[in-house]
């Protein structure tokens, strides 16, 4: 500065210049940061767009309704993702039903109820650690604890619980963060009105933190929906065409289960004593071209059981009927078979005994929650399986299933954003 | 009284069976195991389900080892396996009272491939493969010239199976003579398509994987014939060379193991019989080498007669011919390694 | 040591104490024993007639962990009067206020000893085994910063009545209207009851908080520096409102603003370092403080 410091006017001018320079410099940084941020944001979106576009381009030949509704197949063009979509949907349902209420409850407990002591500190540290545990470890845990320990089997329930535990920390952490952002004044105001802790949580903490909690839940579900490793470990299938048990639908009993149940019936039914006629139906595959998956009834056989017949006599009577064989298997169950290929024999009892027995059994319909124990596959497993197939055609399927997965995730996110906006509208600070 | 209870049981059983007429009987055949074999089993399951109503087949893909783990717990009816059952698994099965029928269903040929632009490699001996892949080759064998002085001093880029796969186990045992012995400075992947991509883009690359990945990518890859040590002739992998046992030592059998008890269920028996009897087409389509007709007949025999045990005594199947698989005695206890397959013939 | 001195300071002479007690006794039929800091009789008889005691603080000590925040406090809160608590930052005035509705219970490591007796039934507000919720059902609070719930105006006011089991639209509407009228907010927002409370101005928000406190039909309302976040106009309105409310309810107000204390309150307690230095009728405290410390504080020489 050339002006002598004693000249007050000069000092002022000097200061003003310096200030102007500083402001200009700050503004420069401001602009730099703004432009940099804009470029980076654009890059992120561009990368995502390119990825999705590429995926859609690869998947294009398969992107039609039938792909969603067809069974799995080894013919890539005939293959669909019906069971995978059902599996993913139901597993996610179980995951949501376990992780969300549990996670929110735990978050609320830790934020609003728990006293700060070494025990809660340990819990907090562990939750943070759990969030970082590789998913395959959860799979191993679930195999030991759920599949073998609690005997939940390789089922939708197991898968849902596993993923639920996997994402639980995410929900907990999101809930806590969201709760922490509520000003303490709100809590004090509620308590000052005479509310109990539960009432404060119910009427204030929970509603006000909902939008953050919701975001956490969606992040959690988005993570869960893409998981493969733990599900492979607990036994998700690569090939399955049967759909999970539809509530209240007629039960399709495995033959063995039928036998086991039947033998366990304790009230004596006087089949042998009263005698009767049993009708067996022999079904054979329909070999007509194009008649896939349909069998035709080739013949019916009536077996007359004399009154007071013994087990052996019942067996003999069946054996004496053409095309039917009866044998006791190693578990002591009588099996009625037909020697020709595909001849799985269905019996029909015309004596009314079956009806009586049916009353005693569970009605022959699925319970509302039977689907929980169904076997399953999920979209990522399907993608994984197809990606590793040598046939190039399956790469298209993999991309198409990928597109579906992305769409599902986007829809989930969309719902979350919609709910959040609605919540925000009602709730403003 | 006890007779009457039994009669009641029978009556109830029959009535129960009758119920299925109204309630649509459905039985499930549970399969799990090798991801290599899974596409074959799935394909056969699909066509079987098309033929037989009321039976559903479920196929998992938790790996040969994972499949056997479930198998010896009695959780599944059939285990897909890309190698024979091992001693440890045999012992576990025995302890759990699980008996099994070993059914070879096809051959897979581990195929050594190079880029089609590579013209100088016309054949490879096992010794050359070993030179390339043995652990000692790390940082030493860097160019093709290092393997064979006749070849150019171009960099040798290697692609191979990830260490968790059955393919890795088999290749290392067949080539190096010791399971798991491999150099580590190569590009590994569990997804064979990645290897296909890598080799097709690098002129001087070499890699190995299952035959099916070669079959479906013949425009991008070239399979290198392997010199049969006994005859001295180079043999390219093909249905014929694998089936007649001249493509050694890289041809390997794949199996299904069926729980003997499950075979008492008509749906399981039907499925296995269908697999062995009518699966050849699907097996071929999936890029595996079907067994000869006679071998399938013998396999069917095994299933029908419930012949339990393994022909491998708990060891791997390197260099074992089809005939041997059926002529060797079936055992239920691991056999000591002193009786190896090499001097069997 | 200290607490003994303070007691002496507060009590003044025996005669004063006797008279103050005489005022109390007939009302509730009980003797006010101990060292209740009653107001100078001359002041009481000159400006106020027959003040009844609503609450008595007796030998109250309060601790945050090891920190002794309130030391052996004794004072009487008069019914339907405004009592102001003044003193420099950290003197414990807010701490004392928050003892009345057990706000400290929300935080760990706090401890009360002594009593705050609420008349007419003699409930010890800080007694062990007394549920803070029962206390807060009778004593409500208005905070320093307006803290309405991020809900509608209606829901804000209806919260207290709902907690008290009032159901039904009509009943709730009546309560809300009564409270909003009481807080002089009804005219301004009767047409926008469903609007979010945060759409109101700061002063309106604070009056809404007062309405919320009123809706619980409290016996005492605690004001914790209620105007410190407001502009002068809004402050005046709140002060006006407090004077109106005095007709119906007992008020204790903590304030930093000496003018506010002198404008609105009937009684003023000056606290310093957790001790009650002087307590008396507001004109007396501001015009003829007995303690030099009080005088110095009021005249702005410290604090």
Question: Of A62, A86, A107, which closes a domain?
Answer: A62
pLDDT of residue C213 exceeding 70, the answer is yes
Domain boundaries along the sequence of chain B: 27-107+252-324, 111-243
pLDDT tens digits for range C106-137: 988 899 999 999 988 889 999 888 999 999 99
The verdict on A80 and A190 lying in the same domain is yes
At least 3 CB pairs under 8 A between chains B and A: yes
Question: Of A314, A332, A364, which closes a domain?
Answer: A364
Residues C84, C89, C90: CA angle, nearest 5 degrees: 100
Classify residue B162 by burial, with Cβ atoms within 10 Å: 0-12, 13-18, 19+.
middle
The verdict on A298 and A273 lying in the same domain is yes
Q: What proportion of chain C, given as a percentage, has pLDDT over 90?
A: 64
Would you list the DSSP string of C60-102? EEEEETTEEEEEEEEEEEETTSEEEEE-STTSSHHHHHHHHTT
The verdict on A115 and A225 lying in the same domain is yes
Q: How confident is the model at residue A427 (pLDDT cuts 50, 70, 90)?
A: low
DSSP character at residue A315: H
Neighbours of chain C (3+ CB pairs under 8 A): A
**Is the backbone of residue C274 left (phi > 0), alpha (psi -120 to 50) or beta?**
left
Q: How confident is the model at residue A323 (pLDDT cuts 50, 70, 90)?
A: low
pLDDT tens digits for range C148-178: 999 999 999 999 999 998 888 999 999 999 9
Q: What count of Cα atoms within 13 Å lies in the side-chain half-sphere of residue A40?
A: 6
Chain C neighbors of A198, CB-CB under 8 A? none
B27-107+252-324 is a CATH 3.40.190.10 domain: yes
Q: Judge contact between C224 and C260, C-beta under 8 A.
A: no
Instruction: With CB atoms and an 8 Å threshold, state whether A196 touches C133.
Output: yes
pTM of model > 0.90: no
The verdict on A55 and A94 lying in the same domain is no
Q: Which domain holds residue A172?
A: 76-242+377-425
Residue A180 lies in a domain: yes
CA separation for the pair A345, B17 (Å, rounded)? 9
The verdict on A201 and A54 lying in the same domain is no
The verdict on A273 and A321 lying in the same domain is yes
Residue B108 CB contacts under 8 Å (≥ 6 apart), including other chains? B36, B82, B210, B211, B212, B251, B252, B253, B254, B288, B289
The verdict on A152 and A232 lying in the same domain is yes
Chain A neighbors of C125, CB-CB under 8 A? none
Q: Judge contact between A365 and A250, C-beta under 8 A.
A: yes
pLDDT of residue C264 exceeding 50, the answer is yes
Chain B neighbors of A255, CB-CB under 8 A? 17, 20, 25, 27, 265-267
pLDDT tens digits for range A31-68: 999 999 999 999 999 999 999 999 999 998 898 999 99
The whole-number average pLDDT for the span C189-217 is 91
Q: Which domain holds residue C128?
A: 4-298
The verdict on A19 and A54 lying in the same domain is yes
Residue C303 lies in a domain: no
* Total of domains in chain C: 1
Nearest to C267 by CA among C85, C95, C144: C85
Q: How confident is the model at residue A428 (pLDDT cuts 50, 70, 90)?
A: low
| Peptide bond just before C120 cis, omega within 30 deg | yes
CA separation for the pair C218, C249 (Å, rounded)? 7
Q: Dihedrals φ, ψ of B230, to 5°? A: -80, -45
Q: Dihedrals φ, ψ of A143, to 5°? A: -60, -45
The verdict on A49 and A83 lying in the same domain is no
- Token pair, residue C252, equals 């204790």
pLDDT of residue B165: 77
* Total of domains in chain A: 3
Alpha-helical segments (H) within C216-267: 232-245, 258-264
Instruction: With CB atoms and an 8 Å threshold, state whether B17 touches A251.
Output: no
pLDDT of residue A76: 87
| Chains A, C: CB pairs < 8 Å | 69
Check which CATH number belongs to the domain holding C41 and give it. Answer: 3.40.50.300
Which residue's entry shows tokens 């009080």?
C294
- Token pair, residue B23, equals 């309630």
Nearest to B326 by CA among B291, B285, B287, B289: B291
pLDDT tens digits for range A126-150: 988 888 889 889 999 998 889 888 8
The whole-number average pLDDT for the span C237-251 is 91
Map residue B306 onto helix, strand or coil. coil
**Strand extents, DSSP E, A60-143:** none
The verdict on A381 and A238 lying in the same domain is yes
pLDDT of residue C31 exceeding 90, the answer is no
**Strand extents, DSSP E, chain C:** 53-64, 67-78, 82-86, 110-118, 123-124, 139-142, 220-224, 250-254, 267-272, 275-281
Positions of chain B with pLDDT lower than 50, given as ranges: 1-25, 339-345
**Are B27-107+252-324 and B111-243 in the same CATH fold?**
yes
The verdict on A7 and A85 lying in the same domain is no
pLDDT of residue C303: 63
DSSP character at residue C149: -
The whole-number average pLDDT for the span A212-222 is 91
Q: How confident is the model at residue A413 (pLDDT cuts 50, 70, 90)?
A: confident
Nearest to B174 by CA among B234, B109, B237: B109
How many other CB atoms are found less than 10 A from the CB of residue B33?
30
pLDDT of residue A92: 95
pLDDT of residue C99: 94
How many other CB atoms are found less than 10 A from the CB of residue A363?
13
pLDDT of residue A106 exceeding 90, the answer is yes
Lowest mean pLDDT among A297-301, B334-338, C33-37: C33-37
Residues C244, C245, C250: CA angle, nearest 5 degrees: 135
Task: Round the average pLDDT of chain A to a whole number and report it.
Answer: 78
Element (H, E) at A212: helix A206-225
Nearest residue in C to A208, CA atom: C150
CATH code of B111-243, in short, is 3.40.190.10
A290-316 burial, b for 16+ CB within 10 Å, e for fewer?
A: eeeeebeebeebebebeeebebeebbe
Q: Does C150 touch chain A (CB under 8 A)?
A: yes
The verdict on A175 and A293 lying in the same domain is no
Would you list the DSSP string of B183-247? -S-SEEESSHHHHHHHHHH-TTEEEEE-HHHHHTTTTT-EEPPEE-TTT--EE---HHHHHTT-S
Between A367 and A379, the more confident residue is: A379
pLDDT of residue C37: 56
Q: What proportion of chain A, given as a percentage, has pLDDT over 90?
A: 38
Would you list the DSSP string of A369-396? TGGGGS----HHHHHHHHHT-SSTHHHH
Map residue A188 onto helix, strand or coil. helix
pLDDT of residue A338: 58
pLDDT of residue A373: 86
pLDDT of residue A264: 24
Instruction: With CB atoms and an 8 Å threshold, state whether A281 touches B21.
Output: yes
pLDDT of residue C285 exceeding 90, the answer is yes
At least 3 CB pairs under 8 A between chains C and B: no
Q: Does A83 touch chain B (CB under 8 A)?
A: no
pLDDT of residue A307: 60
Nearest to C213 by CA among C202, C222, C204, C200: C222
CA distances (Å), origin C278, targets A258, C117, C252: 90, 20, 16
CA separation for the pair A214, A96 (Å, rounded)? 11
Neighbours of chain B (3+ CB pairs under 8 A): A
pLDDT of residue C174: 93
């Amino acid at each position: 500065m050339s002006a002598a410091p004693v000249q007050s006017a000069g000092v002022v001018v000097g200061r003003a210049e310096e200030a102007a320079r500083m402001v200009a410099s700050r503004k420069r940084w401001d602009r730099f940061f703004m432009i940099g941020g804009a470029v980076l944001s654009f890059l992120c979106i561009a990368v995502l767009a390119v990825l999705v576009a590429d995926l859609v381009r690869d998947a294009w030949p398969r992107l039609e309704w039938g792909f969603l509704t067809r069974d799995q197949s080894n013919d890539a063009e005939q293959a669909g993702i019906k069971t995978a979509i059902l599996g993913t949907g139901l597993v996610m349902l179980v995951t949501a039903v376990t992780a969300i209420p549990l996670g929110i409850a735990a978050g609320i407990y830790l934020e609003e109820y728990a006293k700060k002591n070494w025990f809660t500190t340990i819990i907090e540290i562990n939750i943070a650690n759990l969030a970082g545990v590789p998913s395959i470890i959860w799979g191993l845990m679930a195999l030991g604890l759920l599949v073998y320990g609690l005997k939940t089997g390789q089922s939708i329930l197991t898968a849902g619980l596993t993923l639920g535990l996997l994402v639980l920390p995410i929900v907990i952490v999101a809930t806590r963060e969201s709760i922490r952002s509520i000003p303490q004044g709100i809590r004090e105001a509620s308590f000052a009105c005479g509310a109990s802790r539960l009432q404060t949580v119910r009427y204030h903490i929970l509603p006000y933190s909902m939008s953050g909690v919701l975001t956490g839940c969606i992040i959690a579900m988005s993570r869960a929906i893409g998981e493969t490793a733990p599900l492979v470990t607990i036994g998700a299938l690569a090939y399955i065409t049967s759909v999970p048990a539809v509530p209240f639908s007629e039960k399709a009993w495995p033959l063995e289960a039928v036998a086991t149940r039947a033998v366990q019936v304790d009230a004596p039914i006087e089949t042998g004593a009263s005698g009767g006629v049993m009708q067996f139906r022999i079904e054979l595959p329909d070999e007509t071209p194009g008649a896939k998956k349909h069998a035709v009834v080739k013949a019916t056989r009536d077996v007359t059981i004399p009154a007071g017949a013994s087990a052996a006599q019942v067996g003999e009577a069946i054996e004496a009927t053409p095309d039917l064989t009866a044998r006791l298997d190693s578990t002591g169950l009588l099996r009625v078979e037909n020697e020709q290929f595909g001849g799985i024999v269905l019996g029909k009892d015309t004596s009314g005994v079956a009806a009586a027995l049916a009353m005693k059994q569970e009605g022959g319909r699925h319970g509302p929650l039977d689907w929980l124990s169904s076997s399953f596959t999920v979209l990522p497993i399907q993608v994984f399986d197809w990606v590793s197939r040598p046939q190039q055609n399956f790469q298209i399927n993999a991309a198409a299933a990928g597109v579906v997965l992305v769409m599902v995730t986007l829809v989930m996110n969309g719902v979350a954003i919609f709910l959040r906006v609605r919540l925000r509208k009602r709730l403003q600070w | 009284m006890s007779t009457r209870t039994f009669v009641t049981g029978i009556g109830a059983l029959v009535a129960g069976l009758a119920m299925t007429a109204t309630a649509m009987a459905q039985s499930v055949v549970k399969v799990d195991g090798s991801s290599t074999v899974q596409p074959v089993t799935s394909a056969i399951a699909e066509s079987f389900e098309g033929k037989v109503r009321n039976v559903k087949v479920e196929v998992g893909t938790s790996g040969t080892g994972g499949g056997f783990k479930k198998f010896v717990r009695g959780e599944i009816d059939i285990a897909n396996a890309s190698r024979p059952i091992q001693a440890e698994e045999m012992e576990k099965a025995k302890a759990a009272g699980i008996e099994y029928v070993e059914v070879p269903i096809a051959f897979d040929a581990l195929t050594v491939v190079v880029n089609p632009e590579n013209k100088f490699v016309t054949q490879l001996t096992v010794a050359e493969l070993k030179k390339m892949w043995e652990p000692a080759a790390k940082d030493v064998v860097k160019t093709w010239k290092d393997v064979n002085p006749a070849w150019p001093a171009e960099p040798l880029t290697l692609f191979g199976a990830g260490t968790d796969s059955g393919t890795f186990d088999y290749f290392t045992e067949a080539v190096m003579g010791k399971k798991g012995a491999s150099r580590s400075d190569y590009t590994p992947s569990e997804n064979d398509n990645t290897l296909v991509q890598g080799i097709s883009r690098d002129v001087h690359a070499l890699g190995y994987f299952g035959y099916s990945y070669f079959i479906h990518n013949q425009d991008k890859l070239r399979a290198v014939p392997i010199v049969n040590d006994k005859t001295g002739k180079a043999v390219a992998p093909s249905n014929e060379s694998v089936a007649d046992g001249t493509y050694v030592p890289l041809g390997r059998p794949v199996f299904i193991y069926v729980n003997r008890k499950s075979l008492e269920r008509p749906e399981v028996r039907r499925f296995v019989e269908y697999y062995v009897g009518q699966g050849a087409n699907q097996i071929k389509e999936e890029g595996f080498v079907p067994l000869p007709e006679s071998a399938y007949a013998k396999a069917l025999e095994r299933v029908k007669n419930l012949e339990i045990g393994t022909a491998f005594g708990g060891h791997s199947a390197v260099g074992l011919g089809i005939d041997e698989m059926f002529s060797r005695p079936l055992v239920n206890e691991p056999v000591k390694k002193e009786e190896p397959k090499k001097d069997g013939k | 040591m200290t607490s003994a001195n303070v007691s002496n300071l507060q009590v003044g002479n025996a005669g004063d104490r006797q008279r103050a007690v005489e005022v109390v006794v007939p009302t509730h039929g009980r003797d006010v024993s101990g060292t209740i800091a009653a107001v100078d009789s001359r002041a009481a008889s000159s400006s106020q007639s027959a003040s009844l005691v609503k609450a008595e603080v007796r030998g109250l000590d309060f601790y945050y962990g090891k920190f002794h925040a309130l030391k052996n406090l004794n004072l009487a809160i008069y019914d339907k009067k405004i009592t102001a608590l003044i003193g420099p930052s950290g003197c414990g005035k807010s701490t004392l206020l928050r003892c009345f509705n057990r706000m400290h219970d929300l935080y760990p490591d706090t401890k009360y000893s002594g009593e705050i007796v609420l008349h007419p039934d003699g409930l010890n507000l800080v007694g062990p085994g007394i549920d803070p919720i029962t206390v807060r059902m009778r004593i409500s609070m208005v905070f320093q910063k307006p803290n309405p719930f991020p809900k509608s105006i209606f829901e804000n006011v209806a919260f207290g009545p709902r907690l008290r089991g009032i159901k039904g639209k009509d009943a709730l509407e009546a309560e809300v209207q009564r409270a909003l009228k009481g807080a002089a907010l009804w005219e301004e927002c009767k047409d926008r009851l469903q609007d979010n409370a945060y759409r109101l101005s700061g002063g309106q928000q604070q009056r809404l908080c007062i309405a919320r406190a009123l809706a619980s039909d409290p016996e005492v309302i605690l004001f914790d520096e209620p105007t410190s976040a407001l502009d002068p106009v809004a402050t005046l309105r709140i002060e006006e409102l407090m004077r109106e409310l005095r007709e119906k309810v007992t008020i204790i107000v903590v304030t930093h603003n000496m003018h506010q204390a002198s404008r609105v309150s009937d009684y003023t307690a000056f606290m310093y370092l957790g001790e009650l230095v002087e307590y008396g009728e507001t004109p007396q405290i501001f015009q003829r403080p007995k303690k030099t410390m009080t005088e110095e504080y009021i005249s702005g020489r410290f604090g």
